[in-house]
Amino acid sequence: MGPVRTKFFEFTQDEIDYLTEADPQLGAAMARLGKIERVIIPDLFAALIHAIVGQLISAKAAATVWERMQNRLGEISAHNLARQTIDEIQACGLTMKKANCIHAISSSIAEGAFLLEEVRDLSDREVIQKLTKLHGVGTWTAEMLLINCLERRDVVSWGDIAIRRGMMKLYGLDSITKEQFEKYRQRYSPLGSIASIYLWEISFA
């Protein structure tokens, strides 16, 4: 097996048009930015590990660690990572806490104690409920899997600092409350994930 396979999150012009009508400010930003190619990971296990790697660190730092893991450890699969020692995982640039989590989750999935593939058939809420039973997986990590693997359409993560920053930049806010965030999230529904892809871009622009 080579590097983890990726693809782009698929969305249509009709969906962009829907969001433009629902929120003209977002629509203007989308028109200015053009079609964004959001890289996602179709494999559930690899996407989960990628999300854990990305917890509380910059996108650049996460990309460095992710590349190192693939180069040093090989295939990003439950069976392969379960075979590695925690020290070998940690040596890729992870905290010991994350290395422990990744090893424990890999072992649980490899042994069949946690049936990860089952999440494909669950609702967004059920996916979050199931995944957050895993040690080291919180709501943000589960939401990233919903967007960056399952291509679910309506996820806007309050726990994502860059999403909040993108909203603040888009609407000219110095800060954002949960209530304001919820108002915008509902405005984007049922296509919040596509709005999220643009909010990330706005945040880093």
- pLDDT tens for each residue of 67-118: 999 999 999 999 999 999 999 999 999 999 999 999 999 999 999 999 999 9
Which pLDDT score, from 0 to 100, does residue 3 have?
Answer: 87
- pLDDT tens for each residue of 35-51: 999 999 999 999 999 99
Tell me which residue has tokens 């957050």: 132
Beta-bridge partners for 40: 7
Which pLDDT score, from 0 to 100, does residue 130 have?
Answer: 98
Which pLDDT score, from 0 to 100, does residue 205 have?
Answer: 84
Which pLDDT score, from 0 to 100, does residue 2 have?
Answer: 59
| Six-digit token string for 185 | 């999230």
Residue 10 scores a pLDDT above 90: yes
Which pLDDT score, from 0 to 100, does residue 1 have?
Answer: 46
- pLDDT tens for each residue of 128-158: 999 999 999 999 999 999 999 999 999 999 9
Q: Quick count: other Cβ atoms within 10 Å of Cβ 157?
A: 23
CA pair distance 123, 131, nearest whole angstrom: 12
pTM of this structure: 0.95
Are the beta carbons of 200 and 166 closer than 8 angstroms? yes
Q: Quick count: other Cβ atoms within 10 Å of Cβ 153?
A: 16
| Six-digit token string for 106 | 């890999």
Tell me which residue has tokens 């939401």: 143
Write down the mean pLDDT value for the chain. Answer: 97
Measured between alpha carbons, how far is residue 152 from residues 20, 94, 117, 178 in Å? 19, 28, 15, 22
Are the beta carbons of 128 and 142 closer than 8 angstroms? yes
- pLDDT tens for each residue of 151-179: 999 999 999 999 999 999 999 999 999 99
